[in-house]
């Protein structure tokens, strides 16, 4: 069974309580449940993580190379600021997909640039919780081909 790591960045632990007009009313726990169920349907093992710490996220990315077959990451605010996360993503050779709940290209000017997108195979954004499920389908297709 292929193992996928799904990393959620800062403040995503507040989903459901935070800026519902942008991020929706679904909690991260609810997204985790439907994501794990979707992965199981595809015969994938999904490990779901969240951290508000850049260093923890970098350590998790490093772990992907040895312990996982692919990575899905929602870097959240680090998307626009973290060269360190970009470098960590570049250092691993496993398939990588970046996701966002909101459409970052229709938001504030500073959110329209994803530094981390330079190091991933593709980006899915703007579909709310569905962004996670689309990414699971996408990484499954990458791994099967």
Active-site annotation, residues: 23, 100
Q: Specify the DSSP element, H or E, that contains 104.
A: none
- Do residues 35 and 48 make contact, with C-beta atoms less than 8 angstroms apart? yes
Q: Specify the DSSP element, H or E, that contains 119.
A: none
User: CA 48, CA 86: separation in Å to the nearest integer?
Assistant: 20
């Amino acid at each position: 069974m292929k193992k996928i790591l799904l990393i959620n960045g800062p403040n995503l632990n507040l989903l459901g309580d935070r800026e519902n007009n942008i991020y929706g009313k679904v909690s991260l726990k609810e997204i985790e449940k439907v994501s794990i169920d979707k992965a199981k349907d595809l015969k994938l093992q999904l490990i779901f993580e969240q951290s508000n710490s850049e260093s923890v996220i970098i350590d998790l990315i490093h772990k992907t190379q040895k312990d996982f077959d692919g990575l899905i990451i929602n870097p959240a605010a680090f998307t626009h600021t973290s060269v360190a996360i970009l470098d960590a993503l570049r250092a691993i050779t496993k398939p990588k997909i970046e996701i966002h709940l909101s459409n970052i290209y229709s938001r504030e000017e500073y959110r329209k640039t994803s530094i981390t997108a330079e190091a991933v195979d593709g980006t899915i954004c703007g579909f709310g919780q569905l962004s996670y499920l689309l990414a699971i389908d996408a990484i499954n297709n990458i791994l099967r081909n």
